[in-house]
Each structure stands twice: as C-alpha cells, then as structure tokens.
Structure 1
Amino acid sequence: MHGHIGRVTAIIAAAAVVATAAAAPATASPAPTGHRLLQQAADDLNGFGFTGVQVLLRDGHRTTEARAGVADVATNRPVPKNGWFRMGSNTKTFASIILLQLAGEGRLRLDDTVERWLPGLVTGNGNDGSKITVRQLLRHQSGLAEYTAHLPAFASNDAFEKHRYDHWDDADLVRLALTDPPAFAPGTSWGYSNTNYVLAGMIIEEVTGKPWDAHLRARILKPAGMTQTFYPGDDPDLPSPHANAYDSLSPGEDLIDTTRWNTTAAGAAGGMVTTPTDLSRFWQALQQGRLLRPAQMREMHDTVPTGDDRGSRYGLGIFLTQLECGTFWGHDGGVPGMYTVDGVTEDGDRVLVVSVSSPPSDPPNASARVGELLSDTLC
C-alpha cells in the first residue's frame, strides 16, 4: 500500500533510480557474490535503522538468504529464517492476475466500466464510475483519490492503537475516497491510489460470486508452488516465525509495535501475508509464463510512464524499471512498520526480495543501498 505508507515506500521505491546509476560498467572490479553480497547489504540496511532485515535471492532453483537485526526490540530475538511478513502492495499484482485470467476466459473485458460491474457505487464529487474502465483501475489511471488519507488508524499513534482491529467493508473504503474529487479525468494521467485495487477486488467478487481471495489458491498459489501465502482478513496476527513491525504514525513520536493489524483496511490493495521464499516463487512463476496466457501477459506488461524522476513505468499491477544491464519487473509494498521491495529479471531467472521492519533513520542512504543491491543481483 501507499498513502500514509507513501513516505516510507517512496524511500524503498526510490532505490530503482539509484540502481540505474549504480549499475557497474563491465570494466569495474567484481562485486562480492552469493551470501557475502547479501549479508553485507542486510547488515548495511540494519545499520541505516531497519530493525529487522530479510534478503533472498532466487537464481533458477537455487536460493541464497541473509538476515540482520532483531525480530523483537525488547528481547533482541534474532530475525528468523524465512520469516512471515505483510507484503503490502505486492497484493495488487495478485489481484491483477486474477482479473486478467477472468478476462482471458471471456468473463469480463478490461475495457468494461466500473459502473458495468458496480452500478451506483462510484459517484459524487466529480467521480463517475461510468467513465472509468477496469484497465484504468489496474494501471492507476482512474484519477480516484486515495482512501488511506481518510483511514482513522493512520491518523496518529493513538489512533492506530484505537483502530488497529477495526473491520472494513470494501464499499466503505471506497466511500472514504469519494469524499474527495478525482485528481484527474480517467485515462489522462497516472496517479497511484489504493482505491483502484479495492474496486478491483470488488469486481472479481461481482464477476465470480466469490471474494477475490477465494481464487488465490487455484489460480496462483498452486500453479506457482506457493504454500506460505494467504490473505488473513480480520485475523490481526502473523504466523510464527516473524519479525515484529515498528512504526510511528505521529511525526516526532517514538515507534510503536504495529505488528498486529486487521488487514480488511487494505484488502486486495495490500492485505496479503507471505515469506521471502514464497514471494520469490511467485515472481519467478509470473515472469516464466506459468500464471498468465501470452495475450494476458502482454496486457500486464503494457506500461505507461509514472511521471517520477526514476523513469519507472507501470503496467497492470506491476512496475517496470530500467537498469543499465536491462529491465526488471516487480512491485514495492508497505503497511505500518513493514516494507518490501522486489525485482525479477525479464526471463524470470533471478528474483530479489527484500523485506524490512521499521522506517530507516537515514532514508537516502537506505535507498541507495537497496538500489545497489538490485543492481548487483539482477545485473
């Protein structure tokens, strides 16, 4: 997710431009390889203020892992191997895949309007669901405002403690966004908004008669060989083992433990839970063509510029970033106290997953270090 989260996911996402600059020329001295390379990066990220760090590189069928920091600041318990974490906006890619599969089956069209499937929902303050298509939702070109700006739990530390267990229905999240006018007319610009993917989840349910997460196992998890990924819904707990999350939603105040959280506040926009091993398998399966037919894969990879200074582009639930050695695909994600960045090569051969806890004390250096790691591993 972004929103309140934007201040930290931007820190991680900004690593992409650093990765472009950091890509070493062929004449440079070789960087450390394997576990040593990952461990150096994990230690550095811990040094920049992330309390817990997990890094995993999947190369073909071989995985290399590194960890740093602590899972619990009170006990100094070490970060566990392959610990569970909240993947945040990586969830969007899963929702997009389900909708693309349904489109490939002829059960909806990407150019259907939101009004076609959710009549009367998106209206008021200049918002009009009859002018927004499913494709525009998935590509963040709807212009719809960000509902997380009005989410009570994100207002302050005290508000988070008060509202962390609140249940949210998707329609109520959308109504939060509709209190604001659109940022632009549909299709005329690009603007990241979690509201788009809450609506995407609702459309999946309207088309199929089942909640979006009911399709995860058959359509994605089983084909990708994933056994440690799910949507917890109202269950606020993370499976064990895991590193705890820490964050401050009140600028200048101490960090609070944000591990326990009701993810209905995120839904199809950012509510899923996974492990580094499983998430790396997902990205590999996607890029190797095991989750989408070629026609739908082309739709997903049809990108538009995001307008940021990194030159990144966005497809249907997926980011494209250019390195000197080529391009990589992926998504970043963040929920209070947990942040993820990952990248996968065009052929799906190599995948990097970085999962960290707590905001960094030195954001620019943290971004630079993540960017350097992306370059070292994906080039």
Structure 2
Amino acid sequence: MHLSRALLSGLIATVTACGLAVSSSAAADQGHARTREAMEVMVEQDGVPGVLAQVEDGAGAWSGSAGTADYTTGRPRLALDRYRIGSLTKPFVATVLLQLESEGTLRLDDPVGRWLPDVRLGEYGAAVGGPHRSVTLRQLLGHTSGIPDYAADPALRRTYFSPRFLVHRWHSHTPEKLIERSLSRPPLFPPGTRWSYSNTNYLLAGMVIERATGRSYAAEIERRILRPLKLEDTALPGTSSRIPGQHGKEYSTLFVPGAHPPVRDVTRLNPSLAGASGEMISSGRDLVRFMRALVTGRLLPPRQLAEMRATRKAGSTDRYGLGLTERTLSCGVTVWGHDGTIHGSTTAAYTTADGTHTAAFNVNGDWSGDTRDLFEAEFCH
C-alpha cells in the first residue's frame, strides 16, 4: 500500500470526526484525560496512524487508543493488539544474562572472548590507542563496549532504511554476519571509558546466552520470563514475518526525508535483521506486567537488580544501566524502562521504582520521534 502523508491526514480527520479515533471516553478515563489528549495530539499533529496505551496504577488498569490500526478498514486500535517492540527486547535479554550471573554460570566482568572466542574482540581496546582492555559482558549490556552499531553501517542503511527495504525485508540474517559489519570498523573508544548505544552489543549478548546455556536466547527468554509471568502475547519470531494473534497494521515512511513522504504497510517483515537487539512482539498488557515484575525484584535477586539499575549518563534526561533506562521527567518523577523502534512501530514501557504506576505506549508508525510527551502527560498530571 502506498499513501501520501497528506491523504493520511485526511483519513485520520475523517475517522476522528466519525467518533472512531478514541476508544475510551472522557468519563471512562479514570484520571488519564491528559494522556488521552497527548495521544490525540500525536495523531492529529504528528500524523501517526494510531497510538495505544496500557496503564496500571493505584486506580487499576486503563487502556486507551487514538487514531486507527488500519488505514484501509479504519478499525480502531484495540487493547489486546500485539505489535513489534524493537529495542524493548533488550531488557529481556539483559535479564536472562543477569539471571545466569546470579546462578554462577558466568560473571558480568567476564571477557566476551571467554564465551565467544571466534569473535576476536581480545585486542579491541588496544585498537583505539588506549591500554589493552577486553570487552566484558557488563560493557555489552551497558553500551560501554565501544563497538560500533551495525545498524549504522552505511551499506546496511542504504538497503534497509530506505525504499529498498520493500524488496529486502524478507531476507534472513545471522548475528555473526551482522556483527562483522561492526568489527570491520574502528572502535569508537576504549572499552568501558564512554557510553554509546549499539545494537551490536545485544547481538553478542544473545550469542553469549546460547554459548553459556546450550539453548538460544529466545528459548531462555521463554523459559525464564514469558512462561513464569504468563506473558501470552509475547513472542520471539526468529525469521517469521508474521505477527501472531490479534494485531493491526504497522506503517513506515522508510526514512525518506521531506515533508510528505509516502507511507507503506510494513506489517510483515523478517525481524532477524534485529535479532537479540530488537526482534520481539508483545502487547501493552504483557509489557506492563514484565516491567513491574522486573523493577520490583520478581525476576532478579537484589544484587543483580542493583547492577541493572547502576546507571551512567545517556542523554539530557536519561541514564542507562544494564538494559534499563532511568528517566527523570519534567515534574521530577523518575521512571525505569526502555524504548524500542523497528520498521513500522515505536514502543516504550516505563514504571516507577516501586512498580505502583506503569505505562506502555505503542505507535504503529516509525516517523513520530519518541513517546516522551505521553509519559509526561501520564506521570506528571
């Protein structure tokens, strides 16, 4: 499907006028009216297809939606819709690795080369003129390894972050081949000396889990997290292009610059391009349950949870731990969680440290920037 942004704006206005854009009335907002308004602003002003919210706080559970799940049918987004969560996969991977550390299977300060001797990271620190330092598992989880992001590779971006994606989106990828793109480039800095977000780190972390357990990171996430928490909407699709179960459409401008680039339906794609850095599918209900369980200690012993929450500066309002972001909102409230973007989908889930107020948002489009205004509206009302 090929629609212009101008035409989509007209469709959104029509849907809104017909009363289909918002699934929760003001009377049923349960104190989330500002959040609902922020969602509508994203649809009406940013031109995204739709926004879906799931919140749990002292008043109970609330779900809301704005816009549409499908430009063709005009159906609204529904509370139990599943969607791709991109880098929100990372807290799941980090949790498994920290569980393995708590069990004595590995140590956070193990060199990656101990587990992946074929990757040849041993001299990586020396390559940037610093003292010899081996990249460690801790540095992978905390994005302090200095390893470049494979997703920033110019050749990969020309193929997968442009209209050429429509031809190549069915291709399968192995983490080894994706990692080669990073290791062929100079390190960004000596390991452990700075912070720089790199999806390559989590491809490596997924490989370490497999080497340490004899099972794939997907099998370990399912066994250790999905089943115990009964996250029935959450899946690791591997190379499958489908979103299983109830879902809407996901749309992309394919990162074409300009005021009104064409919008494409990219619901079906092979997520092995993201792998352990961002392949997962979930729902608002599952993400709220996972994030609350994680920060309140249901998944990790106190020492490992403290390691995960030991953060360093990663932006003007964010700090990053081991697979977990600490964000301070304008009203002074601190929340913990992660963001995730993949073609056609933008997701974020955050919770207060005590787990009493948790929110997950999804936008079924990838051109809207981020979801910060939604969290400001939800947590700072």
Q: Does TM, scored on the shorter chain, surpass 0.5?
A: yes
Give the 5 Å matches for 1:245-284: 245-249=250-254, 250-252=256-258, 253-284=261-292
- For residues 281-335 of structure 1, what are the alpha-carbon distances to aligned partners after superposition, in whole Å with 9 as ceiling and x for unaligned? 00111112110011111111111111x222x111000000123443210100000
Amino acid at match of 1:344: T
**Corresponding residue for 2:172?**
167
Percent identity of paired positions between Structure 1 and Structure 2: 39
Q: Where has structure 1 moved over 6 Å in runs of 4 or more? A: 127-130
Alignment partners' CA distance in 2, 1:120 and 1:367: 39
Q: Select 1:301's aligned residue among 300, 309, 324.
A: 309
Q: Deviations over 1:96-141 (max 9, x none)?
A: 0000000000000100011111013145995779710000000000
Q: Distance in 2 between matches of 1:294 and 1:124?
A: 31
Amino acid at match of 2:374: V
> 1:107 maps to which residue?
105
Amino acid at match of 1:297: L
1:136 corresponds to: 139
Q: 2:90 aligns with which of 89, 92, 97?
A: 92
Counterpart of 1:66 in structure 2 is 64
User: 1:374 Cα deviation (Å)?
Assistant: 4.0
Aligned to 1:80: 78
Q: Secondary structure at the match of 1:77?
A: coil
2:268 and 2:133 mapped to 1: Cα distance? 38
Matched, 1:40 2:21: no
Calculate the TM-score normalised by the size of structure 1.
0.84
Question: For 1:373 and 1:319, how far apart are their aligned partners in 2?
Answer: 19
Q: Give the TM-score normalised by the residue count of structure 2.
A: 0.84
Pick aligned residue for 2:326 from 309, 320, 326: 320
Secondary structure of the 2:108 match is: coil
Alignment match, 1:336: 343
> What amino acid does structure 1 have at the position aligned with 2:72?
A
| Contact 2:139 2:145 (8 Å CA) reproduced | yes
2:71 partner amino acid: V
Q: Which residue of 1 aligns with 2:377?
A: 373
Q: 2:327 is matched by which residue type in structure 1?
A: T
Q: Work out the CA distance in 2 between the residues paired with 1:328 and 1:295.
A: 20
User: What secondary structure sits across from 2:226 in the alignment?
Assistant: helix
Shift of 1:266: 0.8
Per the alignment, residue 156 of structure 1 pairs with: 162
In the alignment, the residues of structure 1 paired with residue 212 and residue 339 of structure 2 have an alpha-carbon distance, to the nearest angstrom, of 28
Larger radius of gyration: 2
- Is residue 52–residue 243 contact of structure 1 (8 Å, CA) maintained in 2? no
Question: Where does structure 2 lack aligned partners over 5 or more consecutive residues?
Answer: 1-28
CA-atom RMSD, angstroms?
Answer: 2.2
Tell me the amino acid that sits aligned with residue 323 of structure 2: G
1:61 shift after superposition = 8.7
Highest RCO, 1 vs 2 (Cα 8 Å, sep ≥ 6): 1
Q: For the residues of structure 1 that align with 2:172 and 2:58, how far apart are their CA atoms?
A: 40
Asked whether the equivalents of residues 55 and 353 of structure 1 are also in contact (C-alpha less than 8 Å), the reply is yes
Structure 1 residues 359, 168: closer, same or farther in 2, change over 3 A?
closer
Partner amino acid for 1:322?
T
Contact 1:224 1:291 in 2 (8 A): no
Equivalent in the alignment of 1:211 = 216
The one-letter code sitting in structure 1 at the alignment partner of 2:193 is T
Contact 1:223 1:291 in 2 (8 A): no
| Amino acid corresponding to residue 170 of structure 1 in structure 2 | P
* Structure-2 residue corresponding to 1:237: 242
CA distance in 2, matches of 1:325, 1:343: 15
**CA–CA separation in structure 1 for the residues paired with 2:104 and 2:59:** 34
1:52 touches 1:357 (CA, 8 Å); kept in 2? Answer: yes
Work out the number of aligned pairs and report it: 340
Is the alpha carbon distance of 1:162 and 1:360 closer, same or farther for their aligned partners in structure 2, counting shifts above 3 Å?
A: closer
* Shift, 1:35, TM fit: 4.7
Measured in 1, the distance between the counterparts of 2:216 and 2:355 equals 29
The letter for the 2-side match of 1:107 is T
Q: Return the letter of the residue paired with 1:321.
A: R
2:195 is matched with: 190
**Residues 103, 81 of structure 1: CA spacing in aligned structure 2 closer, same or farther, 3 A cutoff?**
same
Q: What is the CA–CA distance in structure 1 between the aligned matches of 2:192 and 2:375, rounded to whole Å?
A: 31
Quick check: 147-156 or 98-107, which moved more?
147-156
Conservation of the 8 A alpha-carbon contact between 1:224 and 1:290: no
Query: Using the alignment, how far apart are the partners of 1:318 and 1:254 within structure 2?
Result: 34
Are the counterparts in 1 of residues 203 and 275 from structure 2 also a CA contact under 8 Å? yes
> Does the residue aligned with 1:313 lie in a helix, a strand or coil?
strand
Alpha-carbon distance between aligned partners in 2 of 1:94 and 1:61, rounded to the nearest angstrom: 28
